[in-house]
Structure 1
Amino acid sequence: MRKLLTLASSILLLAGAATGAAQAAPPKPASYVMAQSDARAEVSGMTVAQATELQAQIDDQLRKSPGGTQISATEISWNGGNVVMEFPVPGQKQASLTSAKALGPNAARRPAAAGEVDLVASGTCYDTGTCQYQKCPYGWTDQWYCLYQDSDWGGRRLQWKDHYPYEQTLDTWNFSYQASGWVNTSLKTVVEVWGPGGQRLWFEPARDNFFSDPTHNSFVGWDANDKATSFTSYGDA
């Protein structure tokens, strides 16, 4: 009987230890939880280890650039969604496509009015606002311009859809001295990027017409690489 009682006690102790271990398990990082309902395949397939590494990067970015909100597993937005930073899933070179949440409900264009010439077929990416060039998004309604942390459009991507005629410091988004490439999908907005001492590092023209490729540069050159500190943009994004 004593042996049976001892065995039963041991089983209860082991069960209690297992329960305690389960209760003490750390919660999944926010990036992992958000990824489970993300429509982007490269995001929804993240492991817990990848999400943990990514969430640390996002938390660090939020500390260094106040006012932002994490809106998806890989994205932070500022200014009501007019500025978005996209992070690569750890192990991937390029940041993911912009999520539907970041594009917003107004990305799709309004229906053509009666008698209006309709240049865009319904259901195309121009119509839904989901076209992209090197994952910098655009459509009929919203056209973004993007800076890339690494050459060949790699690393973090910082993108805007408003224009800023007054100089904007990249310190606002913890992106000074980090840009290596760019894409400008806009038809009307041109962008000037500046470096230390007010030196103009490069100019981003607008697209020639609605169906032409966005203007772009996969590497700004050694003289300008990792030197951008601010920008101005003119026109209607």
Structure 2
Amino acid sequence: MNKFVRFSARSVIGGMLLISSSLAISAPTAIAEDKSMLPPVAAEDIRAEIKSLTLDERRILQAEIDDTITKTNNGAVQISANEVSWNGGEPIVTFPLPGEKRVPAPSEAALLLDNVDPADINGIQAQAAEPDWKGCPAGASDNRWYCFYQWPNFEGKMIKWNWAHCGTGIIEPKRFGCLAR
């Protein structure tokens, strides 16, 4: 005894619309819930390059930051989605974003820790984003940055500190996973 179930085109399309509308309603909620699992400084980072990351990419980046904080175990504080600071900005390690070899321009949080005048932040971020600067801001003559990279050709994590922090002791880039060259 074969029984066939017949569906009209109208009922199939209606069912598909019902399913797709329920997915559309629940998707933003799922994204918001996933973002809430990130530390606030990571979830609230409004830089365009951070906002363009998928949730999976953000989780990968966060896992790398969490691993660094755990391994160094010496007062590290996450200050943005891809930056960690020690001793109030002395030094700051910037992580490249997933799929990228080089770090993006510094966040506002990093620049404020480095005593940058808030009125100068946008200009310094724009300059640091230029290919010649490799993510290392130049600063004014009295506030120069020093940057070391994890890998040759300015690739990988970048550790930086500025002139204001030079007199506070020796910073060992190798301790933070960067080449001392």
Give the TM-score category using the shorter length: 0.5 to 0.7
Indicate conservation of the 8 Å contact 1:129/1:137, yes or no.
yes
Gaps of 5+ in 1: 1-21, 110-122, 180-192, 194-201, 203-237
RMSD over equivalenced CA pairs, Å: 3.4
Q: Which residue of the partner structure matches residue 62 of structure 2?
A: 55
Where does structure 1 differ by over 3 angstroms across 4 or more consecutive aligned residues? 26-29, 127-131, 164-172
Residue of 75, 83, 100 corresponding to 1:75: 83
Q: Pairwise mapping of residues 78-227 of structure 1 onto structure 2 (< 5 A)? A: 78-104=86-112, 106-108=115-117, 129-130=124-125, 131-132=127-128, 133-140=133-140, 142-161=143-162, 162-164=165-167, 167-170=170-173, 172-173=175-176, 175=177, 178-179=178-179
Q: Which residue of the partner structure matches residue 19 of structure 2?
A: none
Residues 32, 151 of structure 1: CA spacing in aligned structure 2 closer, same or farther, 3 A cutoff?
farther
Letter in 2 for 1:152: N
**Structure 1 position 138, deviation (Å):** 2.5
Indicate conservation of the 8 Å contact 2:34/2:55, yes or no.
no
Q: Percent identical across equivalent pairs?
A: 31
Gaps of 5+ in 2: 1-28
**Structure 1 position 167, deviation (Å):** 4.3
Q: SS of the residue aligned with 1:81?
A: coil
Indicate conservation of the 8 Å contact 2:97/2:103, yes or no.
yes
**Structure 1 position 34, deviation (Å):** 2.6
Indicate conservation of the 8 Å contact 1:144/1:160, yes or no.
yes
Point out the structure with the larger strand share: 1
**Structure 1 position 82, deviation (Å):** 2.6
**Structure 1 position 65, deviation (Å):** 1.3
Residues 49, 33 of structure 1: CA spacing in aligned structure 2 closer, same or farther, 3 A cutoff?
farther
